[in-house]
Amino acid sequence: PWIKVHRCVMRNPEWVELSDSERGQLISLWLLAADRDGVIVASPRLLQQLCFMTKPPNIRKFIELGFIENGIC
């Protein structure tokens, strides 16, 4: 599967306020979710390993900002 990132995300204030590394983490999580029928694990440490990140992602922050849904398992 592939994902589509709409250009309008660049005008989203929440996106703009993310750090460069957080934006990269979010794209990696979207790619992982696309490969797993939209589902990702809730463990930041496991997500760090699965996405080859240097530090665990702040899943809560991405949920609160509306970039991912709270239906993770």
pLDDT by residue, tens only, the chain of 73 residues:
778 898 999 999 999 999 999 999 999 999 999 999 889 998 999 999 999 999 999 999 999 999 998 865 4
- pLDDT at residue 71 in the model: 63
Rg (CA), the chain: 12
- pLDDT at residue 56 in the model: 97
pTM surpassing 0.85? yes
Nearest Cα neighbor of 62 from 8, 25, 34, 36 is: 25
Nearest Cα neighbor of 19 from 70, 50, 57 is: 57
